[in-house]
Amino acid sequence: MKRRDLLKTAGFAALALGAGMPVLRGRPAIAADGTSIFTLAYPAGFPDLDPATSFSNDGAVLANTYETLTRYIPARDGAEAKVEPLLAESWQASPDGLTWTFRLRPGVKFHDGADLTSQAVKASIERTKKIGGGASFIWAPVETIETPDAATVIMRLKTAQPMDITAAAGFAAWIYSPASTDKDNAWFNAGNSAGTGPYRIESYEPGQRAILTRSESYWGGWSEGAFDKVVFEIIEDVVLAQSKLESGEADWTFGIPYDNLESLKEHPELKVVSNPSFETLVGMYNTRRAPLDNAKVRQALSIAFPYDDVISAGTAGLGARARGIIPPGIWGHDAEAPIPATDLDKARALLAEAGIAEGGLELTLTYATGDALEALAGELWKANLEQLGITLTLQPMAWEAQWQLAKADPAAGQDIFLMYWWPTFVTPYDYLFNLFHSETAPNFNLGYYANPDFDKLIDEANTLSAIDRHAAEVSFKKAQRILIDEAAAVFVVDKPNVHIIRADIKNYADNPAYGHVTFVHELSR
């Protein structure tokens, strides 16, 4: 009797719990009070909401809260890449590229009610530079900022740099209110926002969510159907993120394994949007140490790389074979760059030419733990190299440890360093300088490539890019051919940008210049 009572009680308790609870099923897209919410299932948190120092996933939040002077629009569907006005209506460079004049958009207000003025722009950039964190180095060439009137900003540079593109950067280029420029990092991270953007930060709960709410006075106005609130739900588990999207609890996500995309494409309420990203996977050869100091050996390794297999198995065929280091969509991408097919016989011949006896070569490759694409690339390459008698040891490491090892001593480090690169602001120089310009102490040139002619070529092209972008492009392409000829690295795959959205969301377009950022103001349901 007792036992049955106990079970009965437990059963009733469970039922009562289930019935008594206001469980939200189906689609909480529009709440009972009519608030429309755009929900992003985001796989990581947002540690730094300070527009001066943020240099991580936080950009996804800040891009809806703050604005930059300009915005980069990638080359797509045959249209050329361009820089569009945002807070600046127009701009002009002096013939030497050292003086840049920006005219500000009239009638723009910050969230706190202050007007957007040239003084505010100056104060923002100066605070960002002074703190010196995050991506503040993008402003390094700026010597002085002048404000002849409230709507005009003049930047005077030490060295020429394309400031229209710099000002469009996804980090450190945000313009914020004069009242906030004496605030510290903690003030911003407490959830205060001081931008001109369409949304303001309402709250941030680490590990759970960030909530943004509409700034009614937004200069761009509000179209019918635009969202009242933006919610970033922090969900690390991809299975969970996928469930949330399928059930309509979330509207947008990324990072779903490529293998699952086929089933998602079948789902009538979901859309899989795939475009090229600006992220490219590259294996940096240790050019300082034998045998990879020999270009022939590097060429042999590159030609033994199983490109097609990695792209089809690692990215479900959505990635594109990298043509050098600059991905498509960026000015300076070399669509005609030669990319030989995988050819083990030719690799064998090259190794023989280099005097490498078959069977004696042992190499180490380091990559970031947990990165499925890198792991796969390593495994498949290893299998190919085995046929050439080369033993490739794969060494997965935490990124921090991988990087430390590579920076410590080129003579004792890895032979091949597998990593992704994306630009802080959209110029070929970002890739070419960071990864291949000679460095006295290694920072990101982790193949330790050093070529004075190459250095000179890209430095000059960078200066030229402030004045004549087409001429600069020619030099940048020439520089990329040098890297390909010398096999300074193995250029693996340009990663696809894959985002999953609910099919009823209108006007969605991803912009690879702003990694995994969604400009929610443009969307509606």
Partner 1 sequence: MHLMRYLLRRLVLSVFVVLGVTLLVFVVAQVVPSDPAALYAGPRPTAEQIEAARKVLALDAPLHERFSSFAARMATGEFGVSYKTRRLIADDLSVFLPATLELAVFSTVLALLIGVPAGVLTAAGRGGLLDRLGGLASIAAVAMPTFFLAMLLQAFFAQWLGILPLSGRLSKEFAVLAPLPSVTGFNLVDSLLAGRPAAFFDTLSHLVLPALTLASYPAGVAMRLTRSAMIEILQRRHIVAARALGLSGSRILFGHALPNAIGPALTVVGLSFAYALTGAVLVEIIFAWPGLGRYVSEAILSKDFPVIAAATLVVTLCYVAMNLLIDLAQAIFDPRVTL
CB atoms within 10 A of CB 289: 15
**Residues 111, 244, 333, 437: which binds partner 1 (CB under 8 A)?**
244
CB of 15 to partner 1, least distance (A): 9
Is-contact 510 518, C-beta < 8 A?
yes
**Under rule CB under 8 A, which residues in 52-111 are in contact with partner 1?**
53, 55-56
- For position 411 contacting partner 1 by CB under 8 A, the verdict is no
Binding mask 100-139 for partner 1 (x = CB under 8 A): --------------------------------xxxx-x--
Interface stretch with partner 1, choices 98-106, 146-154, 232-240, 318-326 (CB under 8 A): 232-240
Q: Which residues, listed in sequence order, are joined to residue 393 by a DSSP beta bridge?
A: 364
Instruction: Give all strands (DSSP E) within 65-160, no chain letters.
Output: 70-73, 82-85, 88-93, 99-104, 142-149, 152-157
Under rule CB under 8 A, residue 516 binds partner 1: no
> Contacting partner 1 (CB under 8 A), which of 4, 33, 79, 290?
33
Q: Which residues, numbered 280-319, are part of the site for partner 1 (CB under 8 A)?
A: none
481 CB neighbour count, 10 Å cutoff: 14
Residue 95, amino acid: P
* Cis bond before residue 291 (omega within 30° of 0): yes
Contact between 405 and partner 1 per CB under 8 A: yes
Calpha distance 231→40 (Å, rounded): 6
Q: Does 4 bind partner 1 (CB under 8 A)?
A: no
Among 63, 104, 123, 235, binds partner 1 (CB under 8 A): 235
Pick the closest to residue 163 from 149, 142, 143 (CA basis): 142
Smallest gap, in angstroms, from Cβ of residue 231 to partner 1? Answer: 6
Of 46 and 508, nearer to partner 1 (C-beta) is: 46
| Residue from 401, 450, 457, 467 binding partner 1 (CB under 8 A) | 401
Which one among 278, 305, 307, 403 touches partner 1, defined by CB under 8 A?
A: 403
Instruction: Determine if 2 is a binding residue for partner 1 (CB under 8 A).
Output: yes
Neighbours of 11 (CB within 10 A): 10
Q: How far is CA 32 from CA 27, 178, 232, in A?
A: 11, 38, 20
- Using CB under 8 A, which of the segments 47-55, 77-85, 409-417, 446-454 binds partner 1? 47-55
Nearer to partner 1, 48 or 473 (CB): 48
Beta strands in 307-443 (DSSP E): 320-321, 361-368, 390-397, 416-421
Q: Which of 207, 268, 359, 452 binds partner 1 (CB under 8 A)?
A: 207
Compute the least distance from the CB of residue 443 to partner 1, in Å.
5
Total residues binding partner 1 (CB under 8 A):
64
Which residue's CB is nearer to partner 1, number 85 or number 133?
Answer: 133
Closest Cα partner for 195 from 108, 130, 126, 119? Answer: 108
DSSP 178: G
Please report whether residue 404 would count as binding partner 1 according to CB under 8 A.
yes
Q: Contact between 35 and partner 1 (CB under 8 A)?
A: yes
Query: 10 Å Cβ neighbour count for 214?
Result: 20
Q: In terms of C-beta density within 10 A (0-12 exposed, 13-18 middle, 19 or more buried), how is residue 309 classed?
A: middle
**Integer CA distances (angstroms), 227 to 32, 65, 221, 299, 523, in order:** 15, 14, 12, 52, 7
CB of 442 to partner 1, least distance (A): 9
Mind giving me the DSSP string for 214-283?
A: E-TT-TT---TT--SEEEEEE---HHHHHHHHHHTS-SEEE---GGGHHHHHH-TTEEEEEEEEEEEEEE
Mask 377-396, x = binds partner 1 (CB under 8 A)? --------------------
**Cβ-based nearer residue to partner 1, 90 or 203:** 203
Cα-based torsion angle of the residue sequence 402, 343, 288, 494 in order, rounded to the nearest 10 degrees: -50
Q: Identify which of residues 125 and 234 has a Cβ nearer to partner 1 in the complex.
A: 234
Residue 23 in contact with partner 1, rule: CB under 8 A = yes
423-458 burial string, b = 16+ CB within 10 Å, else e? bbbbbbbbbbbbbbbebeebebbbbbbebeebbebb
37-42 vs 229-234, strand pairing mode: parallel
| Pairs from 142-147 (Cβ < 8 Å, separation ≥ 24) | 145/121, 147/117, 147/118, 147/119, 147/121, 147/122
* Residue 353: CB minimum distance to partner 1, A: 38
Part of the chain binding partner 1 (CB under 8 A), chosen from 19-27, 120-128, 174-182, 456-464 = 19-27
Q: How far is the CB of 361 from partner 1 (least distance, A)?
A: 27
Burial of 116 (0-12, 13-18, 19+ CB in 10 A): buried
Using CB under 8 A as the binding rule, whether residue 200 contacts partner 1 is answered as no
**Does 217 participate in binding partner 1 (rule CB under 8 A)?**
no
| Residues comprising the chain, all counted | 525
437 binds partner 1 (CB under 8 A): no
Is 441 a residue that touches partner 1 (CB under 8 A)?
yes
Which region, judged by CB under 8 A, interacts with partner 1, from 157-165, 240-248, 470-478, 489-497?
240-248
375 binding partner 1? (CB under 8 A): no
Return d(Cα 497, Cα 444) in angstroms, integer.
23
Rama region for 452: left / alpha / beta (φ>0; ψ in -120 to 50; rest) = alpha
Binding residue for partner 1, selected from 90, 247, 263, 393, defined by CB under 8 A? 247
User: In the window 442-461, what residues touch partner 1 (CB under 8 A)?
Assistant: 443-444
Residue numbers at the binding site for partner 1 (CB under 8 A): 2-3, 6, 17-18, 20-25, 28, 31-33, 35, 37, 39, 45, 47-48, 53, 55-56, 132-135, 137, 185-186, 189, 203, 205-209, 211, 229, 231, 233-237, 239-240, 243-244, 247, 249, 369, 398-401, 403-405, 424, 441, 443-444
